[in-house]
């Protein structure tokens, strides 16, 4: 595929909440850079099924390699972090998040703000829906020679986790993970403090769900995919359970309420989308290397994503889960870990997409199949056909990658999406013709 249309350097238009989040991230990475001189312990962990609140009560700083690999991809050198990892022997087909992280590590391990990330005291693997996570941490352990703890999270093949599965995860937390955190941090487990954090998480989760559901309005005041990846940032990562996180979501909700009151569409990097022509649902992660160009292909045509499954990889809150839903905080953490989107069976994923198409009154849906993420991509064509059958709506299928720019083909994607929207416009009886939505 070609590598056309790099994101242009023109300043993107942003929500006030995006600036606020940028500041939170700058503070976070600044604290990480000073973690060692401040004698703070550092845990590396992944987004899906993370135990952020638990790490928080042990005062451990948190790094999420599946997040830090993304900005690294945007700012990578011409040779690229992926290529650097390939030169070390990592195959072209290996998950590009892994290669980006390994390549970044070999070139100074600088985070998104340009400051160096501290070495981990602990690699905490709390999610096994994707086997790659395990191999990724094995590679990091070899590099850092630090402790590795693994919470085994059962795959939810049925409708819901069984009681045995919940107890199994909670027991591991109680008997293996917490004692390990106590030993590394030198602090005692404080259940009351954990409950306090989980309560703040739930408050933020309420507001996040409200924001994502605001897309049921016409016009939608948000983009539930490109915009939502910013919205889910704090709650999916180091901030969940903290006061700044709770306050961020309260402010975000007020901001979106303002757009609803003014009947405004989503803010895109090129301005507010003034005419919503197509309402779409999307499955699969976005491409990060050409994020703005990718978004523009849709918003140029007045297409808004009203819901996405990707905004659920770090927690499926719209299905009702909240971190304070049970008196036993360890059971709540168990429910959270097992309920993340990529730990769900294919039938449940299809069911969720069907619900989104219907509840958000979508005109169509798009599958973005990313080359190097088998966890997301396996079964997607089968899912697409099943979804078409259940909804009577035709879907579109495109292919990109997460962080490898070699697999982003601008012209190819644009042609496919334009043809797809043309077809949707005909089905819709053509109140929607192609053209600018901004």
Residue 337 tokens read as: 């870990």
Stretch that binds ligand SF4, among 127-135, 205-213, 351-359, 413-421 (CB under 6 A): 127-135
DSSP-derived secondary structure for 337-354: HHHSGGGB-HHHHHHHHH
Asked if residue 212 binds ligand SF4 (CB under 6 A), the reply is: no
Which is closer to ligand SF4, CB of 31 or CB of 375? 375
Please state whether beta strands 42-45 and 122-125 pair in parallel, antiparallel, or not at all (unpaired): parallel
The single residue among 64, 133, 226, 310 that binds ligand SF4, judged by CB under 6 A, is: 133
Q: What letter does residue 239 receive in the DSSP assignment?
A: T
Orientation angle between helical segments 329-339 and 163-172, nearest 10 degrees: 110
Q: What is the DSSP string of 22-36?
A: HHHHHHHHHHHHTTT
Rg (CA), the chain: 21
Q: How many CB atoms lie within 10 A of CB 47?
A: 19
Closest CA to 340 of 98, 21, 66: 66
Rounded to whole angstroms, the Cα distance separating 425 from 432 reads 5
Q: How many residues does the chain have?
A: 438
Residue 375 vs 438, nearer CB to ligand SF4: 375
Work out whether 97 is an interface residue with ligand SF4 (CB under 6 A).
Answer: yes
Peptide bond into 233 cis (omega under 30): no
* CB 402 to ligand SF4: min, Å: 6
H or E element at residue 383: helix 380-391
Q: CB within 8 A of 104, min separation 6: which ones?
A: 68, 69, 72, 76, 81, 110
132 binds ligand SF4 (CB under 6 A): yes
For ligand SF4, which is the closer residue by CB, 66 or 255? 66
3-class DSSP assignment, residue 65? helix
Kindly state whether residue 150 participates in binding ligand SF4, applying the rule CB under 6 A.
Answer: no
User: Is 380 near ligand SF4 (CB under 6 A)?
Assistant: no
What single DSSP character describes residue 102?
H
Which range touches ligand SF4 (CB under 6 A), out of 5-13, 99-107, 168-176, 368-376? 368-376
Q: Tell whether residue 141 is a contact of ligand SF4 (CB under 6 A).
A: no
Residue number, 342 or 400, with CB nearest to ligand SF4: 342
Q: Is 326 in the site for ligand SF4 (CB under 6 A)?
A: no
Rounded to whole angstroms, the Cα distance separating 268 from 335 reads 34
Candidates 130, 149, 204, 337; binder of ligand SF4 (CB under 6 A) is 130
Q: Which stretch binds ligand SF4 (CB under 6 A): 130-138, 261-269, 326-334, 383-391?
A: 130-138
- Separation CA 106–CA 30 (nearest Å): 21
For ligand SF4, the binding residue among 374, 412, 422, 438 (CB under 6 A) is 374
Q: Which of 109, 257, 375, 412 is close enough to bind ligand SF4 by CB under 6 A?
A: 375
55 binds ligand SF4 (CB under 6 A): no
Residue 408 as a binder of ligand SF4 (CB under 6 A): the answer is: no
Q: For ligand SF4, which is the closer residue by CB, 95 or 122?
A: 95
Residues 384-403 that bind ligand SF4 (CB under 6 A): 402
DSSP 8-state assignment for residue 288: S
Measured CA to CA, the distance from residue 170 to residue 315 in angstroms comes to 18
373 binds ligand SF4 (CB under 6 A): yes
Using the rule CB under 6 A, is 330 a contact of ligand SF4?
no
Size of site (CB under 6 A) for ligand SF4: 12
CB of 109 to ligand SF4, least distance (A): 18
CB of 130 to ligand SF4, least distance (A): 3
Residues lying near ligand SF4 in the complex (CB under 6 A) are found at: 66, 95, 97, 130, 132-133, 342, 373-376, 402
């Amino acid at each position: 595929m070609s590598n056309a249309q790099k994101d242009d350097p023109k300043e993107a238009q942003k929500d006030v909440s995006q600036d606020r989040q940028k500041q939170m991230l700058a503070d976070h990475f600044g604290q990480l850079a000073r973690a060692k001189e401040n004698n703070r312990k550092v845990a590396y962990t992944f987004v899906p099924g993370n135990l952020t609140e638990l790490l928080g009560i042990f005062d451990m700083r948190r790094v999420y390699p599946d997040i830090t690999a993304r900005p690294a991809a945007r700012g990578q050198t011409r040779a690229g972090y992926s290529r650097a990892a390939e030169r070390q022997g990592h195959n072209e087909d290996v998950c590009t998040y892994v290669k980006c992280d390994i390549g970044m590590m070999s070139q100074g391990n600088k985070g998104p703000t340009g400051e160096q990330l501290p070495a981990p005291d602990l690699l905490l693997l709390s999610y096994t829906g994707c086997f790659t996570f395990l191999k990724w941490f094995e590679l990091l352990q070899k590099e850092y020679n630090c402790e590795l703890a693994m919470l085994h999270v059962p795959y939810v093949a049925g409708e819901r986790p069984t009681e045995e599965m919940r107890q199994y995860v909670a027991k591991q937390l109680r008997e293996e993970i917490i004692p390990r955190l106590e030993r590394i941090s030198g602090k005692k487990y404080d259940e009351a403090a954990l409950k306090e954090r989980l309560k703040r998480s739930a408050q933020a989760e309420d507001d996040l769900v409200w924001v994502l559901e605001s897309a049921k309005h016409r016009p939608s005041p948000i983009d539930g995919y490109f915009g939502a990846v910013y919205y889910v940032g704090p709650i999916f990562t180091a901030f969940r359970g903290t006061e700044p996180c709770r306050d961020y979501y309260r402010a975000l909700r007020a901001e979106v309420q303002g757009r609803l009151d003014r009947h405004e569409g989503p803010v895109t990097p090129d301005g507010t989308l003034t005419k919503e022509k197509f309402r779409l649902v999307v499955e699969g992660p976005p491409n990060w290397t050409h994020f703005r160009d990718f978004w523009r292909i849709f918003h140029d045509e007045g297409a808004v994503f009203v819901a996405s499954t990707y905004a659920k990889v770090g927690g499926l809150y719209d299905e009702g889960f909240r971190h304070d839903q049970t008196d036993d905080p360890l059971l709540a953490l168990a429910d959270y870990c097992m309920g993340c989107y990529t730990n769900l069976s294919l039938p449940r994923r299809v069911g969720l997409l069907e619900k989104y198409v219907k509840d958000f009154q979508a005109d169509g849906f798009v599958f973005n199949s990313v080359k190097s993420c088998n966890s997301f991509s396996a079964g997607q064509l089968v899912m697409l056909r099943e979804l078409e059958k259940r909804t009577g709506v035709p879907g579109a299928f495109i292919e990109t990658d997460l962080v490898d720019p070699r697999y982003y083909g601008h012209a190819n994607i644009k042609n496919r999406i334009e043809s797809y929207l043309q077809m949707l416009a005909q089905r819709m009886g053509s109140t929607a013709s192609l053209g600018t939505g901004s």
